[in-house]
Structure 1
Amino acid sequence: MQIKSQKTFFSGIMFTCVGAAFALGASNYNVGSAARMGPGYFPLIVGVLLALLGLVVIATAFTGQAAGGDPVGKIAWKPLGLIIGANLLFGILLAGLRSIGLPAMGLILAIYALVIVASMAGANFSMKLSLVLATVLAIGSYLTFIVGLKLQFQVWPTFITG
């Protein structure tokens, strides 16, 4: 058998691996039954369904109509690093790193840092548009999580709030 679409094949591999990982992770929790579901029931079902979907996608890679084989392109390391780095930076700024003496900077600054760093991954970076997007996301997050859901976490850095 010949793979007719590499992109489809590797997408199916990714789905299958992520689904299997979720299903395995869910096995550490009490699964229960359909009538009395435990905390591992939903992740197990989602993981199994995702793995099955991945197998279907892999099968279509062998039967697809792509004559050239849709080769997988090279990995875009810079955007990948910026997106992952933006998420790590968000977590560090939101929670702080007490082991090195970095206090939590709060939700608002963490959102601005996330949006600006992640926006640099795109081909057309605009600081003005990034700041507009960050402002909209910060206001929306504040209204949703702090006002609406009444979650208790730091919104501003301690040097601003005292």
Structure 2
Amino acid sequence: MPKDLRDFWAGLLYLIAGAAAFYIAIDYEMGSAVSMGPGYFPKVLSVLLMAIGAISLVRSFLVEGEPVVGFAFGKSLYIALSVLVFALLAEGAGMAVAVAAVFMVSAVASSFFNWKQAALIAGGAALFCSLVFVKGLGVPLPIFGPWLGM
């Protein structure tokens, strides 16, 4: 029996998510570190995710943790809703708006939620993600989408 149920369930979730991602990317060409194929990034990340999951699972049997008091359904819904909001906004409103919305919606789930602080972090994350993913990596999403007339 695990000594820390939070680590156990988190590790199991990471293992399952990593294995699913690896399975989805299994047919993608791997390439090499110098000439990455479309499967390089998802496969490397999924293996890292599975490794973190395995470490967390092993740790759950070795380190005593706090008892699990309950499950925060409301907070979990905000997190799930933030992912849905990103999916709905990304193409129409653009990367910057979608990322900012993810941060704002998911921040509401925190006990330490503060509108000003969340807005600053959301704006910084939107700028960072737009520059890295759209400009740097060439992700085919607009920074500001057609819904905003851009």
Which range, TM-score by smaller chain? 0.5 to 0.7
User: For 1:102-113, what aligned pairs fall within 5 Å after superposition?
Assistant: 104-113=92-101
Structure 2 gaps of 5+ residues are 31-36
Change (3 A) 1:87 1:26: closer
Change (3 A) 1:150 1:70: closer
2:119 is aligned with 1:120 = no
Change (3 A) 1:134 1:59: closer
Percent identical pairs in the alignment equals: 25
Partner of 2:33: none
Change (3 A) 1:40 1:76: same
The CA distance in 2 between the partners of 1:145 and 1:40, in whole Å, is 17
The CA distance in 1 between the partners of 2:19 and 2:5, in whole Å, is 21
What are the superposed Cα offsets for residues 31-88 of structure 1, whole Å, 9 maximum, x if unpaired? 99xxxxx9879849x65x937x63x7656655x364xx74323111111111111111
The CA distance in 1 between the partners of 2:10 and 2:2, in whole Å, is 13
What's the C-alpha RMSD, in Å, of the aligned pairs? 3.9
Answer whether contact 2:134 2:142 (CA < 8 A) is retained: no
User: For 1:1-162, what aligned pairs fall within 5 Å after superposition?
Assistant: 2-22=1-21, 25=24, 29=27, 43=43, 50=50, 54=54, 58=57, 61-62=60-61, 64=62, 66=64, 70-95=66-91, 104-161=92-149
What are the superposed Cα offsets for residues 75-124 of structure 1, whole Å, 9 maximum, x if unpaired? 111111111111110111013xxxxxxxx111222122111111101112
Change (3 A) 1:58 1:139: closer
Change (3 A) 1:58 1:118: closer
Counterpart residue type for residue 68 of structure 2: V
Change (3 A) 1:18 1:131: closer
TM-score if structure 1 supplies the norm length?
0.62
The CA distance in 2 between the partners of 1:153 and 1:73, in whole Å, is 41
Larger radius of gyration: 1
Counterpart residue type for residue 74 of structure 2: K
Answer whether contact 2:22 2:43 (CA < 8 A) is retained: yes
Partner of 1:35: none
How far residue 26 of structure 1 moved from its aligned partner, in angstroms, is 5.7
The CA distance in 2 between the partners of 1:40 and 1:148, in whole Å, is 19
TM-score if structure 2 supplies the norm length?
0.66
